[in-house]
């Protein structure tokens, strides 16, 4: 079945389609504004502006938003590792470069963004489009129907409202503190994420010191009840076998990084971090 045939099938299913080149750029003069479900119009589009790929608009026009994970970026892989358990089952497409498209039901007000959620994690919504990679023969890891956006991801992806200009008499804003269980969980999540990223990206000559320092630091947070012990052990030990060995003459031995992390965590847990107000910023 050709790309054109698949475009006709998608249009028949109710998805507006338009042709794109292998570079993912639209071939029609008005890009995704040329997208249509009208079969004669689809035929004419591909006759006048043939393309190897199929584009589908995102946002209100289709009722779909797409979270685009580019695994060329370490941070995108880390983001998925840390958040996999709290992402809902939703329609998922493999992308040409080995990443993923997570499809969600459109949320009113969601707009396109690049690297806003995380480096390598983009959003395609109102005013954008996505390549329909299954039509190019790529896998569909999950055929579940598109899910609603989870609230925690909405908070990261929604456009921020413009800051309110204070009146001359307004008191200066106070730094917000982490309060309650939700704030502590968020602080712990951020701390674990940053520790993992620093360990994975530590340069040659600083790897061992970084592993020890970051694991010890998380241990002190566990002891102070800022970080859940099980979550910390799970996340840190999960990356142990993925820490790159930067000294060819002396590569990591099996389990070596894991043992270093476990030892530093245990040492940190004997030194609780002193309680103090933590900023959300």
Q: pLDDT per residue over 6-46, tens digit each?
A: 999 999 999 999 999 999 999 999 989 999 999 999 999 99
Domains and CATH numbers, the chain: 1-57 (no CATH), 60-127+138-157 (3.30.2250.10), 180-269 (no CATH)
Q: What mean pLDDT do residues 120-142 have?
A: 96
Q: Of all residues in the chain, what percent carry a pLDDT higher than 70?
A: 88
pLDDT(268) > 60 = yes
pLDDT(162) > 80 = no
| pLDDT value of position 179 | 47
Write down the pTM of the prediction: 0.64
Distance in angstroms (rounded) separating the CA atoms of residues 234 and 218: 12
Quickly state the pLDDT bin for 170 (edges 50, 70, 90). very low
Distance in angstroms (rounded) separating the CA atoms of residues 56 and 7: 10
> Is 186 or 125 the better-scoring residue by pLDDT?
125
| pLDDT value of position 227 | 87
| pLDDT value of position 278 | 44
| pLDDT value of position 48 | 95
Q: What mean pLDDT do residues 270-276 have?
A: 73
| pLDDT value of position 80 | 92
pLDDT(103) > 80 = yes
Distance in angstroms (rounded) separating the CA atoms of residues 200 and 30: 43
The CA distances from residue 191 to 182, 184, 243, 261, in Å, are 14, 10, 18, 15
CB distance 227 to 191 below 8 Å: yes
| pLDDT value of position 272 | 84
| pLDDT value of position 187 | 74
DSSP run (H or E) holding 104: strand 100-105
Please state, rounded to an integer, the average pLDDT across all residues of the chain: 86
Quickly state the pLDDT bin for 212 (edges 50, 70, 90). very high
pLDDT(189) > 90 = no
Distance in angstroms (rounded) separating the CA atoms of residues 278 and 124: 33
């Amino acid at each position: 079945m050709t790309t054109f045939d698949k475009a006709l099938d998608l249009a028949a299913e109710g998805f507006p389609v338009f042709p794109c080149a292998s570079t993912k750029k639209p071939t029609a003069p008005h890009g995704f504004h040329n997208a249509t479900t009208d079969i004669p119009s689809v035929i004419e589009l591909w006759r006048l502006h043939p393309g190897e790929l199929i584009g589908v608009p995102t946002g209100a026009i289709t009722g779909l938003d797409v979270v685009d994970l580019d695994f060329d970026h370490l941070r995108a892989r880390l983001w998925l590792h840390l958040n996999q358990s709290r992402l809902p089952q939703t329609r998922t497409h493999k992308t040409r470069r080995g990443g993923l498209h997570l499809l969600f039901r459109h949320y009113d007000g969601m707009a396109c963004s690049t690297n806003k959620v995380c480096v390598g994690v983009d959003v395609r919504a109102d005013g954008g489009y996505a390549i329909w990679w299954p039509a190019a023969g790529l896998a569909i890891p999950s055929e579940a129907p598109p899910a609603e956006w989870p609230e925690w991801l909405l908070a990261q992806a929604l456009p921020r409202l413009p800051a309110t200009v204070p009146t001359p008499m307004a008191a200066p804003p106070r730094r917000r503190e982490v309060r309650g269980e939700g704030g502590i969980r968020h602080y712990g999540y951020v701390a674990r994420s940053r520790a993992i990223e620093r360990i994975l990206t530590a340069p040659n000559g600083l790897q061992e010191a970084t592993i020890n320092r970051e694991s010890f630091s998380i241990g002190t947070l566990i002891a102070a009840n800022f970080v859940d012990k099980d979550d910390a052990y799970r996340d840190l030990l999960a990356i142990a076998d993925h820490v790159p060995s930067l000294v060819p003459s002396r590569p990591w031995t099996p389990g070596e990084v894991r043992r270093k992390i476990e030892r530093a965590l245990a040492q940190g847990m004997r030194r609780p971090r002193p309680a103090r107000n933590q900023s959300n910023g």
